[in-house]
A and B are shown apart, each in its own frame.
With several copies, the nearest count.
Chain A
Amino acid sequence: MSTTGILEFLTIFILAIFVGNEVVARVPSILHTPLMSGSNAIHGIVLVGAMIIMGTATGTAQIILGFFAVLLATLNIVGGFTVTDRMLEMFKSKPGDGPPRGGSKSKSADAEGGAK
């Protein structure tokens, strides 16, 4: 059964390749970076694997390894989603809706003041 198991996993792997390929096939270049960043966050789900490793770790070496695996994976997943959200926050379809940017306004006031 473990040998047929591996075939099932292989099947899932191959299907996922097709899905991955098709799903991003039409991404506009404007979204290349957010997509890269977002998929970077998605592979942070390796945290689940790291947790399993950590839970079953025995002996100091394994525990240290597991600890760092969890730490690194957490950095990946938390940082990844946060930074992606920050990028995407800026894409608003109706920019007029957002509150005016304080920084830009005051800066422009400076510039005007200085020039006139």
Chain B
Amino acid sequence: MTLTIWIDLIYLLAAVAFIVALKGLSSPKQARNGNLLAAGAAIVAVGATFFNPEAQFSSHTTNLILAIVAMVLGAVIAVPVARMVKMTAMPQLVAIFNGVGGGAAALISITVFLQHSDSAAKPAVYTIAEVLLGLLIGCVSFSGSAIAFAKLQELMTGRPITYPAQQVINGLVGVAIVALALATLLTGSVTLMVITAVLSLVLGIIFVLPIGGADVPVLISLLNSFTGLAVAASGFTLDNNLLIIAGTLVGASGILLTRMMSKAMGRSLSNVLFSAFGSVVTAAGGADGTGETRQVKTGTPEDIGVLLAYARKVVIIPGYGLAVAQAQHTARELADLLMERGVEVFYAIHPVAGRMPGHMNVLLAEANVPYDELKEMDEANPEMATADVALVVGANDTVNPAAKNTPGSPIYGMPIINADEAEHVIFLKRSMRPGFAGIDNELLFNEKTTLLFGDAKDTLAKLVAGVQEA
């Protein structure tokens, strides 16, 4: 009894630590400490659980050993993967770690369900309802994250997969799940429970299919929030305040975060989830970019180097291509070189440049670019008109004026970085292919614009040389 109190107190402290950590994670200065605090709290809470009388480890030595084996195995897999994966692969990594969390919650629900159906005493209705809720959400999160992972890892196409009456079918599956869950609730049948679980897995898949690769990070955030709710449901099932608080925290903050993310892309959450955004692409832009006949202007690294070297103000606009090319260090080198020559240089960061929010900040921070050289879009835009050169490195949609001028365009209404206001625009990209939204960019054909084709890392290195020679 006394031990239970102590363990519960430890859980409560861990919950408080999680709140404080989440607060920390929301502020640039405290973010890392916040994460470490949460990790520390998690270790303490997990450690305490070995002594939790509820877990009955003292009388179930085999179970204890198996638990330790599973934990060691998990850690041995997770740490190297998390440490070694490339920065550009972060989103899919988060997806997969999120999915397994949902899976764990679902497995907990299944086990508790089996325990209840084994025992003679009939549990209260709401107990089973909580179990089913955890099962359902956990399964959706698990399979949804798996598909999200496959899309980002390019194990399958990143394009939205659509078929006729898609939303209707998805809706029907949802209704079927609710009906089955109710039937399970009333009958307590294990078979029905398994069918519900399987259908929930299916729902997770078909829910994610129509979402385009570029929107997947928003989706992952939503699934993250789902897993949080599934964990909270597990907490209700197990009468565990720590799981309730931690799960709910993530669930509530995750939904808010998801909305902020889609807002940063100039779209509503329902638009992201249900509009199969990007499916028009195949028809319109064409993935090969060979259909293009209009004239564009290209330049040599030497010409552009001179232009940069004698500019007063250069704005570097990084995008997804910078990440793909891992060109952040070379970009920094170019910027440093220009600054040495007295050129005013800053980076204009669009909130959804790259493939996950904050992607550019992470990359540029990795390259040790000082904070004060980074300007958020709102801060950068008023300065664009006075810039001599806008150097667009592997960005496309985030500088596409169609967002301002073309009401029919799928990105219409999204705020962009006004590269077109600068006196000269330089594009570093490999081809005429469009960006992730799959639409043409009028700015490429603008007379202000000069293109330099090639992998961003190479072309930037050439520009470094060009500036040095200038």
Contact = CB atoms under 8 A, between A and B. Distances in A.
Q: Do chains A and B touch in the complex (CB under 8 A)?
A: yes
B183 interface: no
B194 to A, nearest CB: 12
A87 B90 contact: yes
B244 interface: yes
| Chief secondary structure at chain A's binding surface | helix
Contact of A53 (B1, B108, B333, B349): B108
Nearest to A27: B26
Interface string B62-101: 1110110111011101110111010000110110111011
A7 B12 CA distance: 9
A116 B305 CA distance: 13
Q: Specify the main secondary structure of chain B where it touches its partner.
A: helix
Interface in A92-116: 92-96, 98, 100-101, 103-104, 107-108, 110-112, 114-116
Contacts of A63: 62-63, 66
A62 B109 CA distance: 11
Contact of A74 (B71, B254, B333, B466): B71
Contacts of A50: 104, 107-108
Contacts, number: 447
B79 A33 contact: no
Interface residues of A, number: 105
B235 interface: yes
Contacts of B376: 28-30
B108 A20 contact: no
Contact of B107 (A72, A94, A96, A111): A72
Contacts of A83: 82, 85, 90, 93-94, 97
Contact of B224 (A14, A39, A51): A39
Contact of B332 (A2, A35, A104): A104
A78 B412 CA distance: 41
A51 B357 CA distance: 34
Contacts of A26: 26
Interface string B402-437: 000000000000000000000000000000000000
Interface string A64-81: 011111111111111111
Contacts of A71: 70-71, 73-74
Interface of A: 2-21, 23-59, 61-63, 65-96, 98, 100-101, 103-104, 107-108, 110-112, 114-116
Given A52-B52, A55-B52, A108-B330, 7 more contacts: A32-B257, A35-B253, A41-B42, A47-B49, A70-B70, A81-B42, A82-B78
14 contacts: A7-B9, A11-B15, A12-B245, A43-B227, A45-B14, A54-B63, A61-B114, A63-B62, A68-B104, A70-B70, A70-B104, A76-B100, A80-B101, A116-B465
